[in-house]
Copies of this chain bind each other. A is one copy, B any other.
Amino acid sequence: MHATLRPGDPPLSRSVEDYLKAIYHLSSQGGFASTSDIAAMLEVAPPSVSGMVKRLSETGLIEHVPYRGVQLSPQGRRAALRMIRRHRILELYLTQQLDYDWDGVHAEAERLEHAVSDELIERMAGSLGQPRYDPHGDPIPTAAGEIEEADLVTIADAAVGAKLELRQVGTQDSARLRYFATQGLTPGVLLTVADRQPFNGPTTIALVPSGDRRVLGRELARLLLCSEVPVQEHGHADR
């Protein structure tokens, strides 16, 4: 009964859908997404963004403050979350049911997300058991448009000595994803922060329970998003 996208509305184009997703990602932390950031994310020229921004604000999907940036309207946010749900369910389906590696699914989902029906997405979600996270640990929005907001720390920021659970891998870059996989750094892994060198130096972590160590430069450490695990013997994590 909530006022989602009316079925009568003309469907959004592939471009529009990708713009809305980009704006969602860029404005999820701070307030506004800038023209040049959108342009960089979508690999188009800045004037193309200005043109699209005009159309999107005319149709009420975004708010535009000239020379400052854009934000999603409630309607635009719903549309963006719908695309993100599709994208993440597709990624998970490809890895779980069709034996894709986690570094290959993004490109495929990027195209399919625009072509699948809601029906197909819900069937996939059903056959996956209504999953909550995609292969990279990103939360899957519900069909109703809710998304989990976890506050996570990167391994680059976590305190030395902290015990962490790796939750999300914040990149779609194939080479980096493959490297993380070889290092056993995938969502769900437990670890402790053993050391950090000064002046933006590398962080050393120890995997739990194996105790294996990994040394991560700042670039990679910033991509690994973790939740803190209370350090208590024989305790149960509450998730």
A residues at B contact (CB < 8 Å): 94, 97-100, 104, 107-108, 111-112, 114-117, 119-120, 123-124, 127
Contact = CB atoms under 8 A, between A and B. Distances in A.
23 contacts: A94-B120, A97-B97, A97-B127, A98-B120, A98-B123, A98-B124, A98-B127, A99-B123, A100-B123, A104-B119, A107-B117, A108-B116, A108-B117, A108-B119, A108-B120, A111-B115, A111-B116, A111-B117, A112-B112, A112-B115, A112-B116, A114-B115, A115-B115
A98 B99 CA distance: 16
Contacts of A99: 123
Chain B CB within 10 Å — which of A104, A119, A127 has the most?
A119
A178 B214 CA distance: 59
A13 to B, nearest CB: 12
Contacts of A112: 112, 115-116
A112 B116 CA distance: 7
Contacts of A123: 98-100
A97 to B, nearest CB: 7
A120 to B, nearest CB: 6
4 nearest interchain CB pairs?
A115-B115, A111-B115, A98-B123, A112-B115
